[in-house]
Amino acid sequence: MPLPDITQIVDPTTVREVAAERVEAQTVVREFFQDPPGGIPEGAGETYQIPVPAEELGEPEEVEPGADTTYDREEYGRPEIARQIFKKGSKIPEEDINDNIFDLVQDHLDGHAKNMAKKLDRAAFAVLDAAAPTGNAVGDDDGTLSFIDINAGATELAQRGEDGFTADMALVGPSGKESLINYLADLGTDLGDEAVQNGELGEFAGIRFMFSNNVSVGANEAILVDTDEFGFEGEWQGVNTDQATDFDADAIKMKIKAAYGWTDKHSEAAVRVQG
């Protein structure tokens, strides 16, 4: 029996939407980045510069009636995002298909979406990790991440720049998560299993704590971020899929692809904490 045309029995639009939803549901590090104002315009090349105001406009002046007005202009920085393209495919041979084409497509879709989510998060983490070097870390470095260390990081951010930064999110790894959970458990704070499993520990003292074992934060470390000021995620092409029947190879092929880029806006809006 010849292979069926997969596009006639598996709706490509539905597959694409499901893949995109599953990738976004598994996002952790990318939560620390904002979309550029207006997004990446259609037709943008391999790089795109984002105008960021330096916020150095002069203050209003008290003047006498009829006095001339003084004028100045805002200066702009232009952080640049470089496009990164991600692709992966599967080829399912005829002998594997039999009567289970839907299940096989579902299995491959789930696997590709999971791996794409991991890959995108690792790419975003490279920018976040570089902005918070170990050499500039704060905290008591006693082998246990505590809220004393977290507060030290929040205070450090608040003292940076002209107006300071406000820590609103923190990323921790396995050992950092364990330290914080033990600390909160000692205080009688209830942490549900679902919150821990989906990558978010909860919000405490105005800071949203995220957990990932997909990236290497460092033992008993956290990275605190002012997400309003830290960086951008640019989308050239959202998560997309293609599937087709390869009659020559007697196989069904499917692939997942995306094109994104990340950059910091103010690298000083992130700090590493060592417990």
Say what percent of the chain tops pLDDT 90. 53
For residue 163 the two structure tokens come to 């107006």
Handedness of CA 38, 39, 42, 44 (dihedral sign): positive
* pLDDT value of position 97: 67
Q: What does the alpha-carbon distance between residue 217 and residue 213 come to, in Å, rounded to a whole number?
A: 8
* pLDDT value of position 191: 55
SS3 174: helix
- Choice among 112-116, 194-198, 211-215, 223-227 with the minimum mean pLDDT: 194-198
Residue 80 lies in a domain: no
- Closest Cα to residue 173, out of 218, 125, 223? 218
DSSP secondary structure code for residue 46 in this structure: S
| Pairing assessment for the beta strands 169-172 and 207-211 based on DSSP bridges | parallel
Q: Above 60 in pLDDT, residue 197?
A: no
- Which residue in this structure is represented by tokens 């594997």? 96
Core vs surface per residue 232-253: b (16+ CB within 10 A) or e: bbbbbeebbbebebeeeeebbb
Residue 82 lies in a domain: no
Q: Above 80 in pLDDT, residue 153?
A: yes
| 113-213-35 Cα angle (round to 5) | 60
* pLDDT value of position 15: 86
* Whether 108 contacts 19, CB under 8 Å: no
* Whether 131 contacts 264, CB under 8 Å: yes
* pLDDT value of position 10: 73
The predicted model gives 197-202 an average pLDDT of 68
Diameter over CA atoms, the chain? 92
Residue 186 lies in a domain: yes
For residue 252 the two structure tokens come to 């069904």
Q: Above 80 in pLDDT, residue 3?
A: no
DSSP secondary structure code for residue 32 in this structure: G
Residue 241 lies in a domain: yes
Residue 117 lies in a domain: yes
Q: Above 90 in pLDDT, residue 171?
A: yes
Q: What does the alpha-carbon distance between residue 176 and residue 218 come to, in Å, rounded to a whole number?
A: 8
* pLDDT value of position 194: 44
Number of CB atoms found within 10 A of residue 99's CB: 6
Residue 152 lies in a domain: yes
- Which residue in this structure is represented by tokens 């959202």? 238
SS3 28: coil
* pLDDT value of position 181: 81
Residue 56 lies in a domain: no
> What single letter denotes the amino acid at residue 223?
I
Q: How do residues 264-274 score in pLDDT, each as one tens digit?
A: 999 999 999 99
* Whether 91 contacts 249, CB under 8 Å: yes
Question: What does the mean pLDDT of the chain come to?
Answer: 87
**Total residue count of the chain as it appears in this document:** 275
Residue 76 lies in a domain: no
The predicted model gives 225-236 an average pLDDT of 97
Q: Above 90 in pLDDT, residue 218?
A: no
- Closest Cα to residue 125, out of 36, 238, 214, 200? 214
* Whether 275 contacts 224, CB under 8 Å: no
Q: What does the alpha-carbon distance between residue 84 and residue 66 come to, in Å, rounded to a whole number?
A: 56
Domain span at residue 168 reads 6-40+87-274
Q: How do residues 31-75 score in pLDDT, each as one tens digit?
A: 999 999 999 999 899 999 998 887 777 888 898 898 988 888 888
User: What pTM was estimated for this model as a whole?
Assistant: 0.86
> What single letter denotes the amino acid at residue 68?
D
Overall domain count for the chain:
1
Q: Higher-confidence residue: 144 or 11?
A: 144
- Choice among 83-97, 205-219, 255-269 with the minimum mean pLDDT: 83-97
Residues 6+ apart with CB under 8 A from 113: 18, 19, 22, 23, 26, 239, 256
